[in-house]
Amino acid sequence: MATANLEYAYDSKIEGDIVVTQLDAAINWVRCHSMWPMPMGTACCAIEFMGVAASRFDLARFGAEVTKFSPRQSDCMIVSGTVTYKMATVVRRIYDQMAAPKWVIAMGACASSGGMYRSYAVLQGVDRILPVDVYISGCPPRPEAVLDGFEKLQRKVKREHSLSNLLKPS
C-alpha cells in the first residue's frame, strides 16, 4: 500500500522561509533602508533638516531614524548649509572619517553651488571636494524636497553593484 512520500513533498516550514533573490538586491535592500544620516549642518538648512527629522515629516519612515553626529556610525552625509573655505577642509576630513559605503547629499543652494554667496570666502559647491550623489534645490529646501532627495538616493543605492564593489580591491 502506497503511502504519501512525506520526505519529498512540499514542506511549508522550509519553502515558506526561503526567498530567492540576488545578493546585490539583498545588500542594497539592507543598505538603503538603514541609511543613517550624518547632518553636516553649517547654516540655516540645518534648521530645516531638523524639521525633516522631527515628527511632522519624520525621516525615520525611510529608515534614517538615527541621525548620527559621529561620522564613524553614519552612512550618508547631508551637507546642509553654506560651506566656507575654512570649513571645507573640516567637511572633507569628516567625510574621510566615514566608513564605506558612504553617500553625500548636498542640501540646498549653498551646498550645491555656493548659492547666493559669490564670495572670496565661500566654497562654490560642495561637489568640489566631495562626491555628491544627490543635489536638492531650494533656499532652504522644503522638507518634502529633502524626503524626495532621500528617496532618490535610495533608488540610486538600489541600482548599485554592491557585491562586485565589495570584492573590488580599493
Partner 1 sequence: MTTYIDVAAALSAKFSQAVLRASRDHPAFNVPAGQALAVLRWLRDEAGFEILRDVTAIDWGLERSPRFMVVWHLYSPAAHRYVRVAADCASDAEPQMPSATELWPGANWHERETYDMFGIVFSGHPELKRILMWEGYPYFPLRKEFPLAGLPAELPDPEVAAETKEKVQAAPMAGGPFVATPGETMSGAEPRARDEAWSESSQKPT
From residue 124 to residue 143, what is the string marking binding to partner 1 with x (rule CB under 8 A)? x---xx--------------
Distance of closest approach, residue 62 Cβ to partner 1, in angstroms: 30
* Distance of alpha carbon 149 from alpha carbon 136, whole angstroms: 6
Buried b (16+ CB within 10 A) or exposed e, 75-112: bbbbbbbbbbeebbeebeebbeebeebbbbbbbbbbbb
Asked if 94 is part of the footprint of partner 1 (rule: CB under 8 A), the reply reads no
Binding test (CB under 8 A) with partner 1, winner from 93, 144, 151, 164: 93
Asked if 89 is part of the footprint of partner 1 (rule: CB under 8 A), the reply reads yes
Asked if 86 is part of the footprint of partner 1 (rule: CB under 8 A), the reply reads yes
37, 44 in Cβ contact below 8 A? no
Asked if 122 is part of the footprint of partner 1 (rule: CB under 8 A), the reply reads yes
Asked if 97 is part of the footprint of partner 1 (rule: CB under 8 A), the reply reads no
Q: Which stretch binds partner 1 (CB under 8 A): 9-17, 32-40, 59-67, 116-124?
A: 116-124
CA angle, 132 as apex, 129 and 137 as ends, to 5°?
Answer: 115
